[in-house]
Amino acid sequence: MFLMEALKKDRGGQVLLGVLLVLVIAVPLLNLLVPEGHALHVPTYTVTLMGKYLTLALLAVAVDLVWGYLGILTLGHAAFFALGGYAMGMYLMRQIGDRGVYGNPLLPDFMVFLNWDELPWFWLGFDQFWFAALMVLLVPGLLAFVFGALAFRSRVSGVYLSIITQALTYALMLAFYRNEMGFGGNNGLTDFKDILGFDLQADATRIGLFIASALALALGYLLCRVLMVSRLGRVCVAVRDAESRARFLGYRVENVKLGVFTVSAMLAGVAGALYVPQVGIINPNEFSPLNSIEVVVWVAVGGRATLYGAVVGALVINYAKSYFTAELPEIWLFALGGLFVLVTLLLPRGITGLLRRKEASA
Amino acid sequence: MTVASVFEQILDREHVYPFMQRAQSHHIDVSHQVLLYLEGISVSFDGFKAINDLNLYINDGELRCIIGPNGAGKTTMMDIITGKTRPDTGSAWFGQTINLLDMDEPAIAQAGIGRKFQKPTVFEFLTVAENLELAMEDDRTLWTILRSKLDAEQRDHLDQVLGMIGLADQRLQRAGSLSHGQKQWLEIGMLLMQRPRLLLVDEPVAGMTHQEMDRTAELLISLAGQHSVVVVEHDMDFVRNLAAGDRTVTVLHQGSVLAEGTMDEVQNNDKVVEVYLGE
């Protein structure tokens, strides 16, 4: 009931959820029922690509929640995404069992290669899907909670906060590059075989993952929307626009920031966990500072503080990225940079801002 | 803490350790008719004494005007009361039982001290009604903020305040689109929603027309009695208007109280004349 309430005045959200529903129904049908070679056939490769985009869109929604509504310009959200991804990767690694190159039933290949005798303690439990799923939420959530508690209590804000979030993801990247960490070093985790007993290479599994990604995006969107139409959402906007005023009204600004930041990190973790089985690898590059900055660009291009704008931005830019890196690889980074500059200068409210203005004038 | 002083504490029968003391009560005790005590407060920034041994008492239900030349420490004083600045020395008590120096801004606000800034500060992106809703006296924990909705009584209170500040027609308008004077009024309305025991009002009529000033004076006077109101203001006509009826006016100068009395007494005070005209 209250979901209806949350979506009542949200045209963008209604459209988004409608499109997701159509995709969830149409894409599997077009992939499975329409014969290959037919004009309407959607190849499995495209299904997986779309699933990947949807997980990135969920990451963008998570960033929009803290940047758009709370004004925290996070340049480290890819860290939470990657941690969620690693948690899922560890589960997938343990599912390989003795089918690895070295055939060790317990140890993943890279540990055998490093001459390790036993599984490190932090790999225990990851053979269970429920445990891995819990860690997908808990690990990013806990890191965000501890990081946020320290940062927000000491009232670090603005560009300083952006810099330390960037440092956070960079530090994690360096740590995960080390073989001794026990996460596969710079090769990361890969060569996955199956998830929940389903073959990862099978069309049906890929379609399942695509549907799961669409569902996660829809639920994540609804969660953020419900949060932001509540009084908490208005408090967030208040904190964003006049933090000290909110304090003098009696709001514990640091608690508001901490709560929303933690929720956002958990969403990013879920996005990462769905991303990994679809791309088939997770390595420390996912922590790279550039990734986090790119997410911010998606949100800016789509339009801040709308949530659906973040989805639009993520999809548009990632499609452009796939296109450019395939056709004109040298140009991609220039195109991305140029796009960011253009959007900032000409479309301060992003692509969706343009549509909203049209609607308002019509 | 030296060893000697520890021994002294142990041997002292009357010594009460902090952990033995009762937690702060939220009840405001005004049994001595005084709501706010500021005693011996000093604070300096980089060697400059912004507040110098300030002593100030505000009675329960009083309307007090505070005037003083620029740099007299008026805003710093408000910062200390609301927890933004920590004084170097001195004590600040809210009623008999609440020690303001132990609390941070949100705690002080929740204890019942509302503040209006010099520059009108409202949440520009939110509507007038939403601004008032956020200011409303209510539980401020995360979980309740997430779930709470206005109930009938709160809605009435909101409508009543909207009427008082004359913004009933603008209730769904974004606060950012209001005129300067309207924003000042909205901020005063936000204070009223908080139902504070003590209102600190910093230059409420800056940028207002004469008409608006008169209405503001009326409103502030009508608030005195149920709330204590402290008004810091430069505009002498406005202060004269407010302080009519033998209300107390305090003159601050170089961070301490120069004179205190009715408007007439203060205006005829030699030291005050010297400070305002002599230089």
Which of A234, A244, A253 lies at the smallest CB-CB distance from B134?
A234
Q: Check pLDDT > 60 for residue B174.
A: yes
Interface mutation target, options B142, B183, B186, chain A, most CBs of A under 10 Å: B142
Q: Which pLDDT score is estimated for A295? A: 95
Chain A contact present for B190, CB below 8 A = yes
Q: Which pLDDT score is estimated for A181? A: 92
Task: Collapse the DSSP code of B89 into the 3-class scheme (helix H, G, I; strand E, B; otherwise coil) and give the result.
Answer: strand
Chain B contact present for A40, CB below 8 A = no
Chain A contact present for B134, CB below 8 A = yes
Q: What is d(CA A154, CA A163) in angstroms, rounded to the nearest whole number?
A: 15
The DSSP result for B155-186, as a single string, is HHHHHHHHHHTT-GGGTTSBGGGS-HHHHHHH
The phi and psi torsions of A105 (rounded to 5 degrees) equal -70, -25
Q: Check pLDDT > 60 for residue A213.
A: yes
Q: Which pLDDT score is estimated for B26? A: 63
Chain A contact present for B246, CB below 8 A = no
Taking an 8 Å cut-off on Cβ atoms, the answer to whether B109 and A253 are in contact is no
Token output for A162: 């952006």
Q: What is d(CA A221, CA A236) in angstroms, rounded to the nearest whole number?
A: 17
What is the residue-averaged pLDDT of chain B? 88
Residues of B in contact with A238 (CB under 8 A): 123, 126, 134
Using left for φ > 0, alpha for ψ between -120 and 50, and beta otherwise, residue A45 falls in alpha
Give the tens place of pLDDT for each residue, B223-274: 888 889 999 988 888 898 888 888 999 999 988 999 999 988 988 888 888 8
Q: Which pLDDT score is estimated for A122? A: 95
Chain B contact present for A230, CB below 8 A = yes
Chain A contact present for B136, CB below 8 A = no
Q: Check pLDDT > 60 for residue A112.
A: yes
Chain A contact present for B110, CB below 8 A = yes
Q: Which pLDDT score is estimated for B278? A: 60
Mean per-residue pLDDT for B29-55?
90
Task: Mean pLDDT check: name the lowest of A10-14, A340-344, B34-38, B195-199.
Answer: A340-344
Chain B contact present for A223, CB below 8 A = no
Residue B227 DSSP class: B
> How far is the CA of A262 from the CAs of A115, A136, A167, A242, B31, in angstroms?
38, 13, 18, 22, 45
Residues of A in contact with B190 (CB under 8 A): 249
Mean per-residue pLDDT for A219-227?
95
Give the tens place of pLDDT for each residue, B55-91: 999 999 999 999 988 888 888 999 999 999 999 999 9
Task: Collapse the DSSP code of B35 into the 3-class scheme (helix H, G, I; strand E, B; otherwise coil) and give the result.
Answer: strand
Q: Which pLDDT score is estimated for A361? A: 62
Which of A231, A249, A259 lies at the smallest CB-CB distance from B194?
A249
Mean per-residue pLDDT for B98-126?
91
Q: Which pLDDT score is estimated for B118? A: 83
Domain span holding position A299: 2-361
CA nearest to A239, candidates A72, A6, A1: A72
Token output for B264: 């007439």
Q: Which amino acid is at A40?
A: L
Residues of B in contact with A244 (CB under 8 A): 84, 105, 121
First to last CA, chain B: 47
Neighbours of B102 (CB within 10 A): 11
Q: What is d(CA A242, CA B117) in angstroms, rounded to the nearest whole number?
A: 12
Taking an 8 Å cut-off on Cβ atoms, the answer to whether A252 and B130 are in contact is no
The edge-to-edge listing of strands for the beta sheet with B113-116 is: B113-116, B198-202, B228-232, B63-67, B249-253, B256-261
Residues of A in contact with B200 (CB under 8 A): none
Q: Which pLDDT score is estimated for A315? A: 95
Q: Which pLDDT score is estimated for B5? A: 82
Q: State the nearest Cα–Cα gap between B150 and chain A, in angstroms.
A: 10
Residues of B in contact with A237 (CB under 8 A): 123, 125-126
Domain architecture of chain B: domains with CATH: 28-278 (3.40.50.300)
Give the tens place of pLDDT for each residue, A182-198: 999 999 999 999 999 99
Q: What is d(CA B40, CA B34) in angstroms, rounded to the nearest whole number?
A: 16
Taking an 8 Å cut-off on Cβ atoms, the answer to whether B140 and A253 are in contact is no
Chain B contact present for A185, CB below 8 A = no
Q: Which pLDDT score is estimated for A1? A: 63
Percent with pLDDT over 90 in chain A? 78
Q: Check pLDDT > 80 for residue B25.
A: no
SS3 annotation, chain A: CHHHHHHCCCHHHHHHHHHHHHHHHHHHHHHHCCCCCCCCCCCHHHHHHHHHHHHHHHHHHHHHHHHHCCCCCCCCHHHHHHHHHHHHHHHHHHHHHHHCCCCCCCCCHHHHHCCCCCCCHHHCCCCCHHHHHHHHHHHHHHHHHHHHHHHHHCCCCHHHHHHHHHHHHHHHHHHHHCHHHCCCHHHCEECCCEECCEECCCHHHHHHHHHHHHHHHHHHHHHHHHHHHCHHHHHHHHHHHCHHHHHHCCCCHHHHHHHHHHHHHHHHHHHHHHHHHHHCEECHHHHCHHHHHHHHHHHHHHCCCCCHHHHHHHHHHHHHHHHHHHHCCCCHHHHHHHHHHHHHHHCCCHHHHHHHHHHHHC
Mean per-residue pLDDT for A119-143?
96
Q: Check pLDDT > 70 for residue B23.
A: no
Chain A contact present for B164, CB below 8 A = no
- Record the pTM: 0.91
Residues of A in contact with B136 (CB under 8 A): none
What is the residue-averaged pLDDT of chain A? 92
Chain A contact present for B57, CB below 8 A = no
More confident residue, B198 or A40: B198
Q: Check pLDDT > 80 for residue B24.
A: no
Q: Which pLDDT score is estimated for B138? A: 85
Q: Which pLDDT score is estimated for B1? A: 64
ipTM: 0.88
Q: Check pLDDT > 90 for residue B275.
A: no
Report residue A177's pLDDT band, with 50, 70 and 90 as the boundaries: very high
What lies within 8 Å, CB to CB, of B241 at 6+ separation is B213, B214, B217
Task: Collapse the DSSP code of B253 into the 3-class scheme (helix H, G, I; strand E, B; otherwise coil) and give the result.
Answer: strand
Task: Collapse the DSSP code of B54 into the 3-class scheme (helix H, G, I; strand E, B; otherwise coil) and give the result.
Answer: strand
Report residue B33's pLDDT band, with 50, 70 and 90 as the boundaries: confident
What lies within 8 Å, CB to CB, of A164 at 6+ separation is A151, A156
**Pure H helices in chain B:** 3-11, 74-81, 105-111, 128-135, 142-147, 152-164, 180-194, 210-223, 236-243, 263-267, 270-273
Which of A235, A240, A252 lies at the smallest CB-CB distance from B134?
A235
Domain count, chain A: 1
CA atoms within 13 A on the CB side of B9: 9
Q: Which pLDDT score is estimated for A350? A: 87
Chain A contact present for B188, CB below 8 A = no
In chain A, the residue whose alpha carbon lies closest to the alpha carbon of B138 is A250
Residue A183 · residue A86 · CB < 8 Å: yes
Q: Which pLDDT score is estimated for A278? A: 96
Q: Check pLDDT > 60 for residue A166.
A: yes
